[in-house]
Amino acid sequence: MQNKTNYSIGWAGLYLVLCLANLSFEWLENQNGIFATKPLLMITLALYFVRSVQEGSRTRQFVLIAILFSIAGDTLLMFTEQEAGGPLFFLLGLAAFLITHIFYSLAFLNIRSLPQGQLRKQPLLG
């Protein structure tokens, strides 16, 4: 268990470094850096999630599928500023994020271990 925790902390640390690098590239308007770090953020998040969450659950499968479509959406939206195919990349990116949200919703609907607290009984009054 300790080894798995250390491994997960390593992925979380790598994610933090990539996040800071991506923010720096965005601030500097460095397109090559953005193109390198943006997809790597979600890939690293997926690897962290795989190492941290118990295997075999439907929730895990739904979240992984959502993360994969999120990677696709991020990647497709990076190409929207090109003259040839820009609008198509935009629409495909939006579709990928729609699928992402559907799978995230399925993942959260699949969680049945939540306690029957006030928030779950009356979410709008929380």
> Position of tokens 């990928």?
96
What are the domain boundaries of the chain?
A: 1-52, 55-111
Q: How far apart are the first and last CA of the chain?
A: 36
Residue scoring higher pLDDT (80 or 120): 80
Q: Tell me the C-alpha distance between 36 and 109, whole Å.
A: 34
pLDDT at 117: 57
pLDDT at 64: 94
Q: How confident is the model over 16-42, as pLDDT tens digits? A: 999 999 999 999 999 899 999 999 999
Q: How confident is the model over 39-83, as pLDDT tens digits? A: 999 999 888 888 888 787 888 899 999 999 999 999 999 888 776
Q: Are 109 and 63 in contact (CB under 8 A)?
A: no
Q: How confident is the model over 83-115, as pLDDT tens digits? A: 677 889 999 999 999 999 999 999 888 876 655
Q: Are 52 and 8 in contact (CB under 8 A)?
A: yes
Q: Are 59 and 110 in contact (CB under 8 A)?
A: yes
pLDDT at 24: 96
pLDDT at 29: 92
pLDDT at 116: 61
Compute the mean pLDDT over every residue in the chain, rounded to the nearest whole number.
84
